[in-house]
Structure formats: C-alpha cells, structure tokens
Structure 1
Amino acid sequence: MNAIWTLAVCFKVVSFAVSGRTQNSSSATLYLVSGPEVVHAGTPTPLAVTVFGDFPGTVTAELGRGSTKVSLTEDFQEGLTSVLTLPPIPDSLTQNSLLNLTVRGYKGNTVIFTNTTTLTFSPRNVSTFIQTDRSRYHPGDAVKVRAVCVQLDNHPYKDRVDLSVRDPSGNIVDRWESTPNLGIVLREFPLSQTAALGRWVIAATVNGVADEKQFVVELHGNVHIDLFQNNGDGLCSIGQFEDRRHWLT
C-alpha cells in the first residue's frame, strides 16, 4: 500500500506598535514604530518607522540586553515609512529572554522622540513538521519518516537536522544526522520483532530546538478460544471460535 502523507503549515505573526507625540519648542511631532514582538535567533528584525513631520531626519534603533546588542541608523523622509532591518541577535540567549528595544528620532543633532519597549527572544528560527506514513505499527514493521523544515521566511532549511527515535521507556534506539534536500529529510526505521509496545517518539532537532511526533506500536491477531462443558463425566469440547483481539499498552 502506498504511503499517504499530509502536511498542514501554520505560522502565527505577533507584532507590536508604539506611537506618540513629542512637543518641542515650536511644534508637535507624531511618530509610529511597529515590528515583531518576538525576536528569533539568527534572523534579522525589521522595524517600520513613520515620522509625521515636515522635515527629514535620522532614526536610530538599538536592541539587546546587557552587553549583547545590535543597532542601526537610517535616514527618514517626512511623512514616509522607513524600514529598519536590525542585524540578527546572537543566539547565546535563552528562550523567553527579555530584550530592550529603544528607538530615537533626530532632527539634526536634536532628539525629537525616544521610545523603549520590551521584546521576547526565541531560539527557534526553523519550523519542523514530522510525519509518518501511519500512526500505528506492529513489531517487525518499517516506520517511514518525513521531516519538513521551513525557515521563518518560508524558504526550505538546508542545514543539519538531528533525528532520533525513543521507545516507550524513553530510551534512544536509533539516531541520524541528516542534511535536508530542499528542506525535506526522509528516513525509514525498522521495528524489531520484539519492539516494546506503547507510544514511541520521533524527535527532530534543529539549532538546539526539538520538535516531536508520536506513533504507537501494538499487537493484534486472531485468538482461538475453545469452549468446554462439564457433562458429569468430565469436560468435553463443545466448539471453538475465533476472536479478533487488540492490545495496546
């Protein structure tokens, strides 16, 4: 029977926006800054900055925490939206680390606005979707695995992927290091005739971030049951039937 594969891809985009009005000696300046709420390791961070003024100037954005910082300065034109693409933040930070983003606008050497907000760091920069050709297997079957790796820009991921298989006790029974072909890794894992029954786990790790997929190993077969009747002189067989039994642990 040919394997049937299905794939559903869903990305969630979360953004922030800050705006304000700054009053100098002669006029008020309106501004709007928007961008992603989560910063991903190894991925540039774009910021859209609009200054509603009748003059050109410069905008400086600084992102980081402690000594880990990136920054960028760009010119802006009055009333137009400029996109500042900050360099990738180093991936030495941990999941959910908080980063400070400070944006300043200048007219010449004069600061016309400044705003600081907090963003969250995530080491995940690749989404991995693991598939198997079936959800349930029997000892001795071959488990066909496909891992699809997609970067945040929706391009295929083409670097190292580590795959591993764990039995129901959590023991790693096999592992592979692979390089995807157009973002896809294909593997086949044979189960032994004495494979443990229960829920097994396939894990795909990319840049230290793991995604998992479960499958079940079970037994089923035909069970012959003999019926006996006590006729006073002992037991005698009165028939036999076949029962389809199914076990799952």
Structure 2
Amino acid sequence: MALNYVTIFFIMFGFIHMAYGRYVIISPDTIRPGLPLILSMNIEAEESFTISASIKNSASPINVASIIRNYIGSTVDTIELQVPDSVTADGIYTLEVLGLNGVKFTEEKILKFVSKGFSIYIQTDKSIYKPGQTSKGSGVVFVVG
C-alpha cells in the first residue's frame, strides 16, 4: 500500500513513474539545459544486469546524454544524466531506459523541454530567525536569454 501512496505523490508533482514486474524507475518529466536529469530506481534481481539510460532528440541521431551501469543483484540507486547547456527546444525529447542481460525491459517516455528563464538568489544576514525578528537581506535576479 505504501508504494501506491509514493506513486501518487510523484505523479502529482510532475514525475514519470514506470513500474512493471520487478522494477520501479522514477524520473522528472522535464529537462532543462545545463541541469541533470536524475533517475531513481529500485530493481529486484537475483543475477547481474545492466541498465542503459539515454535522452534522445527526434531532431538529431546523436543522444543528448547517456549512461550505462552494471549491477550485481537487487539494487536501489540513482542515475544522473547531465543535460548539456547547448540543448534547445528543437525536436521531441525522450527518455529511454533499458534493462539488459539479467533484467530485461524497455521504457520510453516523452520529456518536456523547459528553457531556463530566470534564477533568483536571496541572501540574508542570519541563517535562522526567531519569531518577531526583522529579516535583512538582498536579492539578485538573473534573466537568461
């Protein structure tokens, strides 16, 4: 029952959830230039297996990012795919995760491209304030392209 609540939580907050048989893979459904796409996975296996994860773009035959990892037996792990700064909104992006050797599966999901619009940095004079204290700080907004 706990798995169902976790699944609902991740789906509500814009995550892709893949669960078939003996594995669960959770990933954001968006990519942003220069930021990593982090996959969380829980795979039950009695033998060794290989996971291949890649981000593909329909406008290019070359993978945007990819990684291959080998595992021995059941595992709970995270995989980080670094999205290059050069990624643009051209084409349709997909995340492909393959289980090879001992655990075999193929999952492919469409990813939304979100360009980085702006960043806000806020600095305060204290890390923790008590109720009633006046906060002093400064902020900077960086607008990208």
TM-score between both structures, scaled by the size of structure 2: 0.66
- 1:79 matched to 2:16? The reply is no
Alignment CA distance shift 1:107-1:92 (3 Å): closer
Q: Is the 8 A contact 2:119 2:142 kept in 1?
A: no
**Percent identity of the aligned residues?**
20
Q: Distance in 2 between matches of 1:77 and 1:14?
A: 31
> In the aligned structure 2, how far is the partner of 1:57 from the partner of 1:114?
13
Match of 2:96 in 1: 102
**Aligned pair 1:41/2:33, yes or no?**
yes
CA RMSD in angstroms, aligned pairs only: 2.9
Q: Which residue of structure 2 aligns with residue 52 of structure 1?
A: 44
Larger RCO (alpha carbons 8 Å, 6+ apart) = 2
Count residues with an aligned counterpart: 117
More strand by share: 1
The alpha-carbon distance between structure 1 residues 74 and 126, as it changes in their structure 2 partners (threshold 3 A), is farther
Who is 2:130 aligned against? none
Unaligned runs of 5+ in 1: 1-11, 22-29, 129-147, 151-182, 186-203, 209-249
Amino acid at match of 1:19: A
Specify the code of the residue in structure 2 equivalent to 1:106.
L
Letter in 2 for 1:50: N
| Aligned 1:158-177 pairs, distance under 5 A | none
Contiguous gaps of at least 5 residues in structure 2:
1-11, 124-137
Look at both structures and tell me which one has the larger radius of gyration over its CA atoms.
1
SS in 2 for 1:32: strand
In terms of fraction of residues, the more helix-rich structure is 2
1:32 pairs with 3, 24, 31, which one? 24
